[in-house]
Structure 1
Amino acid sequence: MLKVQEIRELIKLVDHSSLDEFVYEYEGAKIKMKKNAAVGTVTVKEQVTPAPVVVAEKTSAPVAAVEVKHEEPIAPQAQPAQTPAADTSNLHKINSPMVGTFYASPSPDADAYVKVGSKVSSDSVVCIVEAMKLFNEIEAEVNGEIVEILVKDGQLVEYGQPLFLVKPE
């Protein structure tokens, strides 16, 4: 299997080339890279259970996602229910300031920070977004009442993704 540094070099080479897709197979391992104008991905599939790979280095290459997949089936995450087309123009959206994992409570056995109907002030913590093992408390930014929670506990969130709708006071 290729080392992390070798995979990074491949990502850079594919990114700077005119290739749109690159596949590498060796001894049961498969690396597949695709790119387009907006997003590039890397998929690694292995037959054996690999040691954990930690990638914590920023690169200047515009590859937007690196995804490691294994042959064991992974249950798909439930997508949040689509909100009905209601007038939300008077509601404040609390957006995620980063890419990470959304947590509604400070620990798995604790109550959620807020629920629908909870009153919040501008400095109230409403959730945690975990990114690279750092747990970032997200504040409400406005005084008001939580009208809707738009994501599920443990769901991956993107930068700028709305997390809550708040009716300002």
Structure 2
Amino acid sequence: MDLKDIQNLIKFVAKSGASEVKLETDDVKITIKTGSETETTFVQQMPMSMPQMAMPQTGVPAAMPAAAPPATDGVKTEENEDSKFITVKSPIIGTFYRKPSPDKPLFVEVGQTIAEGDVLCIIEAMKLFNEIESEVSGKVVKILVDDSSPVEFDQPLFLVDPS
């Protein structure tokens, strides 16, 4: 089971309204628990070499999205203003970087015009650096994440004005 399958499973469970789902295969054990405040996912890799050996039942948190804040009038007007913009979202969980290395310039800045295929940022996941390319052309209006910050799957990263 790869990361994309796990992310799709998390989204499916969140939308289904189930409070807990457990999935076990030969090499992976996943428990997804949802509650009123948070959603917790535990992924445990089972040993390949010695299946008879007992493993402790400890899990590694894979994702813990924060609960959505209650809607207010201020948020609604901000959403209406931002509705004309395209939101570029994170395709993976990892660490967000605005430049390729500490001594290099930023990929993009607010006000910069970008074209489809331009690299917007890098997200590091499990020691792999993934370049995130723009799927739209336009002008970067807002950068929603700080450099070197952890990001979640489907988290908004940039607002782009396509006009």
TM-score for the superposition, normalised by structure 2: 0.56
Q: Which has the higher helix share?
A: 2
Counting only pairs closer than 5 Å after superposition, residues 19-58 of structure 1 correspond to structure 2 as 36-37=33-34, 38-40=39-41, 57=45
Q: Match of 1:105, as an amino acid?
A: K
Matching residue of 2:149: 155
Structure 2: which 5+ residue stretches go unaligned? Answer: 1-20, 23-31, 48-56, 64-74
In 2, are the aligned partners of 1:102 and 1:127 still within 8 Å (CA)? yes
> What is the RMSD of the two structures over their aligned residues, measured on CA atoms?
3.2
1:65 equivalent among 61, 69, 72: 61
Written as runs of structure 1 = structure 2, the 5 A alignment for 1:105-124 is 105-124=99-118
Structure 1 runs of 4+ aligned residues shifted over 4 Å read: none
Secondary structure of the corresponding residue to residue 88 of structure 2: strand
Say which of 65, 87, 91 aligns to 1:93: 87
- Structure whose CA Rg is larger: 1
Q: CA deviation at 1:36?
A: 3.9
Identity rate, percent? 42
Distance 1:127 1:66, change over 3 A: closer
Q: Which amino acid aligns with 1:65?
A: P
Instruction: Give, in whole Å, the separation in 1 of the partners of 2:88 and 2:122.
Output: 12
Question: 1:146 — aligned with what?
Answer: 140
Separation in 2, partners of 1:141, 1:104:
17
Whether the aligned pair in 2 keeps the contact of 1:39 and 1:64 (CA below 8 Å) is no
1:93/1:58 CA distance change after superposition, 3 Å: farther
Under a length normalisation based on structure 1, what TM-score does the superposition of the two structures give?
Answer: 0.55
Which runs of 5 or more residues in structure 1 are unaligned? 1-14, 17-34, 43-54, 68-82
Question: Could you tell me whether the CA contact under 8 Å between 1:116 and 1:148 is conserved in 2?
Answer: yes
Q: Which AA in structure 1 matches 2:119?
A: V
CA distance in 2, matches of 1:58, 1:132: 18
Cα distance change on mapping 1:65 and 1:113 into 2, 3 Å: same
Work out the CA distance in 2 between the residues paired with 1:99 and 1:154: 13
Count of matched residue positions in the alignment of Structure 1 and Structure 2: 107
